[in-house]
Amino acid sequence: MIALSVNVNKVALLRNSRDTVIPSVVEYSQRCIGYGAHGITVHPRPDQRHIRVDDCFDLKRAINVELNIEGNPFSPAMPSSRRGVSDYPGFMALVDAVRPAQCTLVPDANDQLTSDHGFDLARDSDKLRPVLKQLSDWGVRSSVFVDPNPDTVAIAADLGADRVEIYTESFARDFEQGRGEQSLKLFSRTAEAAYHAGLEINAGHDLNLDNLPLFSGLPHLAEVSIGHALTADALYFGLEKTINLYLAALQNV
C-alpha cells in the first residue's frame, strides 16, 4: 500500500489571510484522516506565512497518524512579526520539541515560494550527516529531499537517512507534455538505486489526480505527500470525495 500524506500548508495559508482561526488546520487534518489519509505533512517556514509553530504542536497532540515535518534543517531562529504568533525557534529545535514521526529535510531558502530542488548529496554530505544522526538519536524517521538521480541517491543511505523523497516536478511537467512514461523511467531507476541501497522511497511535488495513476507505478514507492492539488480539488469535489479519489489513484482502493 502507498501511503497518502496530506500537506495542509495551503489550509494554513487561507487561515492566515485573515485574523481568524478559520479554517482550522487541526480539524481539516482530522477530517482527512477520517476519510482515509495515512499521514499529515507540514512545512513550517521561518516567516510562518502558512504553517505556524503552534500548528505543529497542536497537530502532534490531535492526530493519531504519522506527522511529517519538512523543512530546511539549517533554518535559524526568527522572531515573529505577528501579534499572538510564537517565535520560530529554528527548524531542528522545533523538530526536537515536537518529535514528529518523520522529518523530511528540504534545502529551501526563506524567500522561495515553494521547494524547487533537492539536496546535492555529494556537496552537502558533511552538513547532513550530523543532522541525520541527531534525528536518529531522537527516534525520528528521516527523509532527504532529492532530485531524481540514480547515480547519487545512494549517498543518502551512507549519510544515515532512512528514506529519500524524490522531487517530482519534472515528472509533472513532462506528463503535461505527453512524456510521462518516458520521464518515469528516470524516477524508476532512481527508486531502484535507493531501494538497493537500503532506503525507503517517498515522493512529492505537483502530483495530482491526472498524473498520479501513472506515477503510482513507481517501484518500491512507500509514500506520497500532496497538498496544493489536493486542496484545490477539495474545493470542487468536497474533501471526502477528494481523499477517496487520491486513494484510488494510488491504487489503494
Active site residues: 43, 70, 205
Separation of alpha carbons 245 and 49, rounded Å: 29
Evaluate whether 35 touches 98 at the Cβ level (below 8 Å).
Answer: no
Positions of E strands within 88-179: 102-105, 141-146, 163-167
Which run of H or of E encompasses 216? none
First to last CA, the chain: 9
Amino acid at 19: D
Give 67's strand partners: 40
Structure-block grid coordinates of residue 109: 531558502
Separation of alpha carbons 110 and 209, rounded Å: 29
